[in-house]
Structure 1
Amino acid sequence: MARTAAAPSTRRRKILAILAGGLVLGVGTALTLAAWNDSEFATGTFTAGSFNLEGSTDGTAYSDHAAIGDPAALDFSVGFDELSPGDVVTAPFAVRLDAGTDYDAIVTMTTADVTGDPANLTYRVLQTATFGCGDLTGATTLVSSRGLSEALAGVTFPLVAAPADQEYLCFEVTAGAGLTQDQSATATWQFAAESQ
């Protein structure tokens, strides 16, 4: 008698069906993992600009005098160190923004410090077309005549960010009639530039 193959059991069929289903899901997952990917990136570099005010007592050589303890020494005309009542002495000064400066500025002039005995000494500051105090014809008054010890505020002028744009100034100091022998005073002015 010949033997016939037994029909697969129901349990075996269920196992095969589950394995076949898992195989289909596994292939689907593999296809999902094979998707393409791409990215873009962007970056920016940020650098601060440069800003520097410098001064000159000779109209040619400019340098920094950024601390009250290290000011530019004004070169006053003959007689500044032996004043008599009625004497007038002058000193030129120039300010500009250095070659590396990126911004225009508004410069504010103030009195930073006065020591000694400033009584009977007055001063004014003029804006001139060229460096020096020799010819003040056509000069513009920046600071009107005032006592050396008077606080100075609100005096401003513009500067353009180019070394060729210089502000030429002339300080003029006058000894009053009440000046006493051996009287001495030192004044320091500040030029504070603010970028625009």
Structure 2
Amino acid sequence: MSEHARARPRRGPRVRAVLAGGVVLTIGVGATLASWTDSESARTTVTAGRFGIEGSADGTTFTQSSASTPTTVTLTTAATSMVPGQTVYGGFSVRTVAGSVAGEVTLPSPAVTATGTTAVPLDAVYSSEVRTIPSGAACDAGTFAAGTTVIPPGPLGQAQDSAARPLAADRQSPVHYCIAITLLSSADNAAQGAGASVVWTFSARSVVPGT
């Protein structure tokens, strides 16, 4: 009986050893979840473009101007002594500046200021019309008649071009306008001496390529 009683306590340490081994095994499994990693990178550079326009009264020499210092349009006939029914013509060309992106141009209503010696309303004296003509063509009665209407005949200072005309990038393919101003045949005798200063400001903006 005494030998059997002494042998039983040895079972306790063996159980504890097995439990300790189980804890070590669990930690070892968690350590095997690590992975190899790698990465790739890409790079690009973007730069904003530039946009600007310039104009010319002769279709050859282009400069930049403003409403306060506009380019003077040369008329086909001196417009200082017009008579009823007479029409004078003047050309103006618009293009983008060197290095500019492409764009489009519109022609809003001009600013008209009376300059003569009479108070007769200018709309009762003058009318205007604008057309586009081919490159290299002089703005006169012949090319105007064959041109494409931009602004139909109407009172001086009220008409405007709502359609945008494309402008190529980098000074290419200017848009050539031909402006006609007529002293109305219906102008009254009181219109004698009535003058006007007319300033057209061509409005342009850049466009997204391919649109």
Tell me the TM-score normalized by structure 2.
0.65
Residue 68 of structure 1 is matched in structure 2 by 67
Alpha-carbon offset, residue 78 of structure 1 = 2.7
Alpha-carbon offset, residue 127 of structure 1 = 1.2
Residue 111 of structure 1 is matched in structure 2 by 109
Residue 96 of structure 1 is matched in structure 2 by 95
Residue 171 of structure 1 is matched in structure 2 by 179
State percent identity of aligned pairs: 28
Q: CA RMSD in A?
A: 3.5
Stretches of structure 2 lacking an aligned partner (at least 5 in a row): 1-36, 115-120
Alpha carbons 2:110, 2:157 under 8 Å: kept? no
Alpha-carbon offset, residue 99 of structure 1 = 2.7
| Aligned pair partner of 2:146 in 139, 145, 154 | 139
Secondary structure of 1:122's partner? strand
Residue 192 of structure 2 is matched in structure 1 by 180
Q: Whole-Å Cα distance in 2 between the matches of residues 96 and 151 of structure 1?
A: 22
Secondary structure of 2:64's partner? coil
Distance 1:108 1:170, change over 3 A: same
Distance 1:64 1:132, change over 3 A: same
Residue 128 of structure 1 is matched in structure 2 by 133
Residue 31 of structure 1 is matched in structure 2 by none
Alpha carbons 1:128, 1:169 under 8 Å: kept? yes
Alpha-carbon offset, residue 155 of structure 1 = 3.7
Alpha carbons 1:93, 1:169 under 8 Å: kept? yes
Which stretch of the first structure deviates more once superposed, 186-195 or 42-51?
A: 42-51
Q: Deviations over 1:164-190 (max 9, x none)?
A: 301111111111233322x11112112
Residue 77 of structure 1 is matched in structure 2 by 76
**Bigger helix fraction:** 2
Which letter does structure 1 place at the counterpart of 2:153? Answer: S
Aligned residue pair count: 186
Distance 1:144 1:97, change over 3 A: same
| Aligned pair partner of 1:193 in 196, 201, 204 | 204
Alpha-carbon offset, residue 154 of structure 1 = 1.2
Q: Whole-Å Cα distance in 1 between the matches of residues 138 and 88 of structure 2?
A: 12
Residue 59 of structure 1 is matched in structure 2 by 59
Q: Whole-Å Cα distance in 2 between the matches of residues 158 and 184 of structure 1?
A: 34
Which letter does structure 1 place at the counterpart of 2:106? Answer: T
Alpha carbons 1:124, 1:173 under 8 Å: kept? yes
Secondary structure of 1:136's partner? helix
Residue 165 (structure 2) pairs with residue 157 (structure 1): yes
Q: Deviations over 1:129-180 (max 9, x none)?
A: 1342236346324311111131425143222224230111111111123332
Stretches of structure 1 lacking an aligned partner (at least 5 in a row): 1-36
